Amino acid sequence: MTKIYLDTCSIQRPLDTLNQTRLRLEAEAILGVLAQVRVGNVELISSTVLELETQRNPLAIRREHGEQILAQATRIVIVDEQIEQRAHYFVQMGIKIMDALHLAAAEAAEADYFCTCDDRFLRRAKMIANLKIRVFSPLELIEAIEE
């Protein structure tokens, strides 16, 4: 079964102000991915980093939305020293610390795909030569899992 890891911005995309075509398309793609999770075609991976970011969200509607999505995860990766070391390597590659922790957690879970809406992060992650996971935008992800 296909295993995916959605970062926080991907999980929250459907709640964003969808005043641009790209944002609407990404929101629909994420909703499509979540539909695949609900019917059991795709396995959702979570992490303690995702849980922490979700709990820290000051907006109740976004916090509750994130919690509902993460409740569908079949596995929760607990960040440990090995994940932190891998994240440190990603930081050296120009990735922000929280994004690096997400990426390292997804690798540790042996997820097939990692999804982010963050263009800068996406570009930098795709440049990491020894990355053990495929990093996609929501549109790339829905296309990959619906093939």
Number of structural domains the chain divides into: 1
Determine the pLDDT at residue 146.
84
User: What's 51's domain CATH number?
Assistant: 3.40.50.1010
Domain containing residue 105:
2-145
What span, in angstroms and rounded, lies between the C-alpha atoms of 9 and 23? 12
Q: What is the pLDDT of residue 30?
A: 97
The pLDDT assigned to 19 comes to 94
pTM for the structure as a whole: 0.96
Residue pLDDT tens, the chain, 147 long: 999 999 999 999 999 998 999 999 999 999 999 999 999 999 999 999 999 999 999 999 999 999 999 999 999 999 999 999 999 999 999 999 999 999 999 999 999 999 999 999 999 999 998 999 999 999 999 999 987
